[in-house]
Structure 1
Amino acid sequence: MNIIEILLFVTAVASVISFGIWQGRSTASDGSGAASGYFLAGRHLTWYLVGFSLIAANISTEQFVGMSGKAADWLGMAIASYEWFAAITLVFVAFVFLPKFLKTGIYTVPEFLEYRYDPFSRQVMALATLVILVGVPTASVIFSGAKVISGYYPDVPLLGNLTASCWLIALLAAGYVFVGGLKACAWTDLIWGASLIVGGGIVAWLAFDALGSAEPTMLAKTATLKNIDINQLEQAGAWQRFQMLNAGTAAEGGKLHMVRPINDPEIPWSALIVGLWIPNFFYWGFNQYIVQRTLGSKSLAEGQKGIVFAAFLKLLIPFVVVIPGILAFNLYSEQLASATGNYDYDGAFPTLLRNLIKPYPWISWFVLAAIFGAIVSSLASMLNSASTIATMDLVRKYAPGIPEEKLPAWGRAFVVIFVIIGALIAPSLSAPEFGGIFTFIQEFQGFISPGVIAIFLFGLLVPRAPRFLGWSGIVLNACLYGLIKWWLGDIVVHAGLWFSDEISFLDRMAICCFLVLVYCALMTIVRPLPAPVELPVNADMDMTHSPSVKIAGIAVVLLTVLLYVLFW
């Protein structure tokens, strides 16, 4: 371990976290209520805090490890659809969902269901969200962060041990959010979000430089598989080598196209039509640990500016996450192979770090600090949001007599409980049956995401939809998703009634969402409400729209379309 690297890394991380805690503790002195101050930063977040906080909360090691791993595996650029679809989704959220959420003055997404449907719907979504949030993304961020640390320092005591690294990350993040709440997360996200993009860009640049200077014999294995002339490879530059090594159709192992065959087990082209929109709309529109940043906006205009700014940044992410994953396979495929001949694709990004930045301590400290900060920031954001749901949707609901100033204490207690659960689950995610960390996150959220989207669409767009749809739609989706995943899907495939060897989880989400929407439509026809539901109004929120944001939103959509044209 280089002492300069360690000192700079520790100083950077400690300084940023200290700054965030200082900002978080200042909330109490600015006139904010105790609950609003701790859980929503006093509703004082400006657009740049909202934008960078969305990116930092979203982009962490589950992207750098999981998404890079999928890019190194067979998916290549196709995995970037999660990012570029998100840009369009965010624009939609800014102009359709955010105005309705801010106008009601809610603390949590499940709280909206009580106003639109009934209290039981709120409880069902709160419990389902907690189970998924703590058991899936929280545990996944801990695991993927530990994967990077243990992969970078494999021979260092404690740090080289996956389980020990899991507990180290969990404890640091818990202590951080325990003190500062959402405001601490938002201010550190401002720094980590910008640093993460710069750090990822540095890794991508170093990877291209390594590809351009690599001996053709080093690339011989990949070149042979592609039937590439070694002499042509020797004369090509970095970008030309990248195109040569990854060219071809998906069936030929090409990694530079967005569209996969219809029988692809993860992202068939059919998923681009419906399936992929479901996790995107759920994640960016109804996922508490993301939405909580927008609920803390000081006004509608600031929130919309922040969301559209985050949408633009999402267009950049594949260039610092997905492409480096492909480069990792081109450069170090033998290092990703295990003794059994299998590939550890989740090790793609840690392998890049170990080979490319470790020799340069004056660069490595910054990249490591940015990645570590993203780990802590994302985990802190998840813990803060989970504690918000547990406190505001469960504790305050069943014990309404608790004074507001006591609610943050409950939130802090839940932070401790949830981080322990996440840290206990995290080490087990290295098991091969999970199919990669990114797939694990996306697939298991399917137990709630299609149903949540269906009931929110009806709740927002159909004023007379009956109140029982809130909880029944979520329960119906969970049953349908499990039924198709573990039983009915195999029967359909074996009967020859499906177009591939298995029903991908994205297609499974699309089927469930469609069936729940049909259920909601039928129930609305049979038992419509006698009068439209009246939602509460937060009179203190400035609901003025910003005309310039609409232009920026249109520009983001057009840029997304252009990227798909280039990489189709």
Structure 2
Amino acid sequence: MESSCHNVTIERNSYNLFKRPWDGIVLAVYFIGLIGIGIWTSRRKTNHGSTEGYFLAGRSVPWWAIGTSLFASNIGSEHFIGLAGTGAASGVAVSAYELHAVWIVLLLGWLFAPIYLKSGVYTMPQFLGRRFQSPRLRAFVSVYTLISYILTKVSVDLYAGDVFMKEALGWDIYPSTITLLVITGIYTITGGLAAVIYTEVLQSVIMVAGSFVLMVLSFNKVGGLSGLREKWPGNYTYSVPNGTCDVGAVPDNAFHMFRSPSDEKFPWPAVVIAIPSTGIFYWCSSQVMVQRVLGAKNAFHAKLGTILCGLLKILPLFLIVLPGMIARTLYPRRVGCGIACECEEICDNSDGCSNIAYPELVLNVLPTGLTGLLLAVMMAALMSSLASTFNSAGTMFTIDVWNALRPHSSQRQQVVVGYVVVVVMVVISVAWLPVLEALQGDQLFLYLQVQCRQSAAMHSHHCPQST
């Protein structure tokens, strides 16, 4: 039977930034600090006349900046939306993606980074081209990666950012996203890798501090970990003329990290074997991650940086996944809605509303001022991820494609090409917004960020139709 929604009266969250001046002040301070650091690093930390200065920060990045930059580049807005949403939908098992990185990133520092640094390369396609003596392979990998950035990384970041902007602020996708894209593009262009890395240091501090405050307040509201276990999963009963039905069901192993091999979402063989395989590819051979250690002062700083990043990767379980579960417990009808038409009413997504778990906490748990801090956290996550992608794209196109077409171009010309590529990436991202808007509620985010929404089982929750 089709599900029925009778007298749905659930209202959307209402938040007006302009009526909460302290939140606006916090956001303004964040943006001023971000732009200030971008300008400072562009003048103090790089030599714009050289490709090494612009694309690799002059190979002078210390370990603490490498570690925090790796963390910020990895933690994007899709983590706060996707990890919290999956935690709300199915429990803690999704944190395996984060916890595996604790040791995988050490492989980057101890096994891969010394080889990359010794080779003196700028990009991963360049390394592969030298290793296999194949310019065609180098060009193919570079072009393929550039295309995949648009279709996957940028798309997911913008999608998740829009989910937050719409739910938390009620902002339309176009003005909010275009503004963030333009600001990100400006400091990426003006400062190169140095500006990206040192702004990511600020963004990491904001993300960890802000999400830590929200975690503490959320656990306090739910009654601690014991309260979460007792009150989970926060199902609710939906009344209909012919009776009632329980909706929004979740698995009974929500607090289990390792699950049965027959588990549809997180079977333990996949957690043990498949996740590390893809993790090694992501952390040890993707341009976005590797470019940070390529800019290290030396191998020692690269190793220390990966240790710091590994320690930081323990945090998402506590700062994002468990708060997502708390949101499901505190607001079961909104976050855990299980009827298509009701979910559509709540969050414009008939598949489910687990994606709004983190924004729900931000808007309902935090007082004025701290809400602005968490808004800055989400924007920092989006902007750091986009800046890393833009900078890596500019580096790869210039070093692997442009230099192949114009082998005698000067270093200044190569830096200008890097500028242009970032501008083009921003323009393409803006042009991609209508596609993202059309795909909202469909399968793009589910496909790219594993289990970021409720499973298809949600559609099996049908209440009797009204007569």
TM-score (norm 1): 0.68
What is the CA distance between 1:426 and its match in structure 2? 4.6
Render the CA deviation track for 1:150-180: whole Å, top value 9, x for unaligned.
21112xxxxx213432222222211221211
Q: 1:40 touches 1:292 (CA, 8 Å); kept in 2?
A: yes
Of residues 135, 151, 157, the one that matches 1:141 is 157
Residue number in structure 2 paired with 1:323: 322
Render the CA deviation track for 1:186-216: whole Å, top value 9, x for unaligned.
111112112211111111112112213xxxx
The one-letter code sitting in structure 1 at the alignment partner of 2:127 is F
Q: Provide closer, same or farther for how the CA distance between residues 33 and 99 of structure 1 changes in structure 2, counting only shifts above 3 A.
A: farther
Render the CA deviation track for 1:400-452: whole Å, top value 9, x for unaligned.
12111111111111111112223333554453332645x41469xxxxxxxxx
Of residues 184, 187, 192, the one that matches 1:181 is 192
Render the CA deviation track for 1:296-325: whole Å, top value 9, x for unaligned.
001000011001111011112211011111
- CA distance in 1 between partners of 2:307 and 2:359 (Å): 31
Q: 1:27 touches 1:38 (CA, 8 Å); kept in 2?
A: no
Tell me whether 1:121 sits opposite 2:120 in the alignment: no
Q: 2:95 touches 2:317 (CA, 8 Å); kept in 1?
A: yes
Name whichever of 292-301 and 203-212 sits farther off.
203-212
What is the CA distance between 1:367 and its match in structure 2? 2.3
Residue number in structure 1 paired with 2:73: 57
Residue number in structure 2 paired with 1:363: 370
Structure 2 SS opposite 1:191? helix
Q: 2:46 touches 2:57 (CA, 8 Å); kept in 1?
A: no
The one-letter code sitting in structure 2 at the alignment partner of 1:71 is G
* 1:206-225 pair list within 5 angstroms: 206-212=217-223
Residue number in structure 2 paired with 1:352: 361
Residue number in structure 2 paired with 1:131: 147
Residue number in structure 2 paired with 1:339: 341
Residue number in structure 2 paired with 1:241: 227
- CA distance in 1 between partners of 2:230 and 2:152 (Å): 37
Residue number in structure 1 paired with 2:167: 151
Q: 1:246 touches 1:256 (CA, 8 Å); kept in 2?
A: no
- CA distance in 1 between partners of 2:71 and 2:102 (Å): 11
Residue number in structure 2 paired with 1:440: 448
* Structure 2 unmatched runs, 5+: 1-16, 234-248, 344-350, 457-467
Matched residues, percent identical? 28
Name whichever of 166-175 and 183-192 sits farther off.
166-175
Residue number in structure 1 paired with 2:87: 71
* 1:378-417 pair list within 5 angstroms: 378-417=385-424
The one-letter code sitting in structure 2 at the alignment partner of 1:93 is L
Tell me whether 1:203 sits opposite 2:235 in the alignment: no
Name whichever of 297-306 and 170-179 sits farther off.
170-179
Q: Provide closer, same or farther for how the CA distance between residues 28 and 91 of structure 1 changes in structure 2, counting only shifts above 3 A.
A: closer
Tell me whether 1:273 sits opposite 2:263 in the alignment: no
Residue number in structure 2 paired with 1:282: 281
What is the CA distance between 1:370 and its match in structure 2? 2.8
Q: Provide closer, same or farther for how the CA distance between residues 415 and 109 of structure 1 changes in structure 2, counting only shifts above 3 A.
A: same
The one-letter code sitting in structure 1 at the alignment partner of 2:430 is A
- CA distance in 2 between partners of 1:364 and 1:193 (Å): 17
Residue number in structure 1 paired with 2:347: none
CA RMSD of aligned residues (A): 2.2
- CA distance in 2 between partners of 1:256 and 1:426 (Å): 37
- CA distance in 2 between partners of 1:292 and 1:442 (Å): 25
TM-score (norm 2): 0.82
Of residues 80, 96, 102, the one that matches 2:95 is 80
What is the CA distance between 1:244 and its match in structure 2? 2.2
What is the CA distance between 1:60 and its match in structure 2? 1.9
Residue number in structure 1 paired with 2:122: 107
Tell me whether 1:92 sits opposite 2:110 in the alignment: no
What is the CA distance between 1:70 and its match in structure 2? 1.2
Structure 2 SS opposite 1:115? helix
Residue number in structure 2 paired with 1:299: 298
Structure 1 SS opposite 2:331? helix
- CA distance in 2 between partners of 1:371 and 1:202 (Å): 14
- CA distance in 2 between partners of 1:62 and 1:45 (Å): 27
- CA distance in 2 between partners of 1:164 and 1:254 (Å): 42
* Structure 1 unmatched runs, 5+: 155-159, 213-237, 444-500, 502-568
What is the CA distance between 1:335 and its match in structure 2? 1.8
Equivalenced residue count is 406
Q: Provide closer, same or farther for how the CA distance between residues 94 and 109 of structure 1 changes in structure 2, counting only shifts above 3 A.
A: same
- CA distance in 1 between partners of 2:45 and 2:209 (Å): 30
What is the CA distance between 1:87 and its match in structure 2? 0.7
- CA distance in 1 between partners of 2:410 and 2:157 (Å): 33
- CA distance in 1 between partners of 2:440 and 2:168 (Å): 20
The one-letter code sitting in structure 2 at the alignment partner of 1:104 is S
Q: Provide closer, same or farther for how the CA distance between residues 423 and 351 of structure 1 changes in structure 2, counting only shifts above 3 A.
A: farther
Q: 1:142 touches 1:423 (CA, 8 Å); kept in 2?
A: no
Residue number in structure 2 paired with 1:491: none
What is the CA distance between 1:85 and its match in structure 2? 0.4
Q: 2:46 touches 2:191 (CA, 8 Å); kept in 1?
A: no
Render the CA deviation track for 1:63-96: whole Å, top value 9, x for unaligned.
001111111112x111101111011101122111
Tell me whether 1:253 sits opposite 2:252 in the alignment: yes
Q: 1:67 touches 1:79 (CA, 8 Å); kept in 2?
A: yes
What is the CA distance between 1:20 and its match in structure 2? 2.3
Structure 1 SS opposite 2:56? helix
Render the CA deviation track for 1:379-410: whole Å, top value 9, x for unaligned.
11110001111111101112112111111111
